[in-house]
Structure 1
Amino acid sequence: MNSYVAQLLDEKFHEFNRPNFIPNDPICIPHRFSLKQDIEIMGFWASILAWGQRKTIINKCNELVLLMDGAPYQFITQHQSSDLKRFLAFKHRTFNATDTLYFIEWFKNFYLSNDSLESAFSRFLQPNDTNIEKALLGFHQLFFSLDDYPQRTQKHIATPARKSSCKRINMFLRWMVRQDTMGVDFGIWQQIKPSQLVCPCDVHVDRVARKLGLIQRPKTDWLTALELTENLKSLDPTDPVKYDFALFGLGVEKEM
């Protein structure tokens, strides 16, 4: 990687990895909470709903929080069947009430026997795995392990098995795993290493990365995300996805 690109990415990482990034990004949703499980639940949901305008995504997530009485973990684990009727009108793009109710059911089932959502990913990962591919493959199977899961909901949970770049789940994992002192990412998970993360390939990141020569692969899929991440590891092998801030920020700047 040439020195100009390296310097640009470092500068933009420091520019955008700041608390003032939070309010206008879906990461503001889990930042409303201090309880670990609330952060996990709403972090996951905010990442899965993260397509379209950021303002709309944030509004929809806030609507979900209200539907769960402002306490997602408590609602998930203690709700009655009659409480679920309020979700029948919830919709964001192609994510509808069927998907919402399955998410609630899965979370309830999972948290009855697990303290943290981290184990839904980390149980499939070995310490010497170079990236989180096995974790994503295993999580997808685990998420759809309940009887009579809705087939339609599968399209909302990406997996490398379908060659998806898995941008939303990769973003969620960045939020949970990355640790620094800037207060944007949470860094509340310990069993997955930042070096194992894969860079989220959204439209901004993909466009900028191609212009900077960080992606050569013609289409955007799982192998593209791995290619980008490997190139970023030449700058920082222990924390390559920190440059997601730089690539995304450069893309948004260009758009504005």
Structure 2
Amino acid sequence: MSQELSKRSELQIKELKPFLNKWVERVEQPEYIDDDPVLFMHAFQNKEDQLLAGFFAATMAWGRRDVVIRKVRDFLNRMGNQPTEFIANFTDRDAQHFEGFKHRTFKPVDMEWLVKILQSILLDYNSFEDFWSFCYKRASKNERPLMSVFHEQFFRQRPEAPQRTRKHVSSADKKSACKRLYLFLRWAVRNKSCVDLGIMDFMPPSELYIPLDVHVARQARALGLLTRTYNDWWAVEELTEALQLLDPQDPAKYDYALFGLGVDEDGLPEEFVLNPEVLN
């Protein structure tokens, strides 16, 4: 995209609300769950299992959803489908369960270290939510992005974790969009949803940022909600700020609308397209 993209005014953004709300209602349905990695949170009854399974599902949400689902199912099977118990009792001998596992750039060594770090978190904070709450309060106090503090504190648990594993958990300090971390928080924090579980309340849904992937970004640029051409942290901030105009209490719900528009066979209706070159 060589030319500058057009941006909707605040009034023009608000005029999109009925259209985008319709798409949220259309996509955010119970049947969405079966074809999305969020299904692994719904597969468990215990809250800690839900959070840990969801964290791995979101962390591995890279590529086609059907492939991600297959790989996450494989990984959870290797944990006996008891993530909390497996992680809490993990020893070096249990690393053999991950032999042969691969997904994108994830290798057995990465899964082993993620489990070790989560084990340390459970020991030190009693629950995964309590760890998130600690990071949230620390970020607020120091006026830093939550995902910068989360990354920092996550690997502070086990400083000896290899550099390659650190790349699988994003940090806003590195200007990453932190898509997978905010996808997890959408699942775990948004309430009053038939898809997102709303089982953590350490932060309000109003403070969630959009999980920015390439498809969501493409639709947002076409609509004139996003003008930044890189899918980085600044783009996340710009798009979330625009979506807050539509619903300041729940901006992340529009992830459903932008996702749905991206996969719809008919595409984005022409009357709503502000930057048609994005779709070419």
CA deviations 1:65-124 (Å, max 9, x no partner) are: 110111110111123432221212111010111110001101111111323322323223
- In structure 2, the partner of 1:75 is 86
Counterpart of 1:100 in structure 2 is 111
Alignment partners' CA distance in 2, 1:79 and 1:255: 49
* Counterpart-to-counterpart distance in 2, 1:128 and 1:159: 13
Mapping of 1:139-218 within 5 angstroms?
Answer: 139-145=150-156, 146-180=158-192, 182-218=193-229
Q: Distance in 2 between matches of 1:97 and 1:6?
A: 45
Q: What is the distance in 2 between the residues matched to 1:60 and 1:128?
A: 32
1:24-63 counterparts in 2 under 5 A? 24-63=35-74
Give the match for residue 244 of structure 2. 233
Question: How much identity, in percent, do the aligned residues show?
Answer: 38
Q: In structure 1, what is the equivalent of residue 34 of structure 2?
A: 23
Q: How far apart are the structure 2 equivalents of 1:74 and 1:89?
A: 22
Deviation >6 Å, runs of 4+: none
Aligned position for 2:278 = none
- Structure 1 equivalent of residue 6 of structure 2: none
TM-score (norm 2): 0.85
For 2:179 and 2:91, locate their aligned partners in 1 and report how far apart those are by CA, in whole Å.
33
* 1:191-247 deviation per Cα after TM superposition (whole angstroms, max 9, x unaligned): 111111100111111010011110011222101101101100111101110111111
Counterpart Cα distance in 2 of 1:118 and 1:68: 21
- Whether the 8 Å contact between 2:139 and 2:149 is mirrored in structure 1 is no
Matching residue within 104, 109, 124 for 1:113:
124
Query: Which AA in structure 1 matches 2:176?
Result: S
CA distance in 1, matches of 2:162, 2:265: 39
C-alpha root-mean-square deviation of aligned residues, in Å? 1.9
Unmatched runs of 5 consecutive residues or more in structure 1: none
Q: Deviations over 1:28-65 (max 9, x none)?
A: 11111111111111111111111111111001111111
How many angstroms does 1:5 deviate by?
Answer: 2.2
Q: CA, structure 1 residues 200+81, in 2 after alignment: closer, same or farther (shift >3 Å)?
A: same
In our comparison, the structure showing a higher alpha carbon Rg is: 2
- Give the match for residue 13 of structure 1: 24
Alpha-carbon separation, structure 2, partners of 1:13 and 1:198: 16
Comparing 195-204 with 139-148, greater Cα deviation is found at 139-148
Unaligned runs of 5+ in 2: 1-10, 268-280
TM-score normalised to structure 1 length: 0.93
Q: Matches of 1:116 and 1:253 in 2, distance apart?
A: 39
- Counterpart CA distance in 1 for 2:266 and 2:124 is 45
Q: SS of the counterpart of 2:256?
A: helix
Measure, in 2, the Cα distance between the counterparts of 1:232 and 1:141.
28
SS at match of 1:52: coil
Alignment check: 8 A CA contact 1:158 1:164 kept: yes
Q: Distance in 2 between matches of 1:147 and 1:163?
A: 22
Asked if structure 2 preserves the Cα contact closer than 8 Å seen for 1:47 and 1:172, the reply is: yes
Q: Does the 8 Å contact 1:177/1:193 carry over to 2? A: yes
Does residue 257 of structure 2 align to residue 242 of structure 1? no
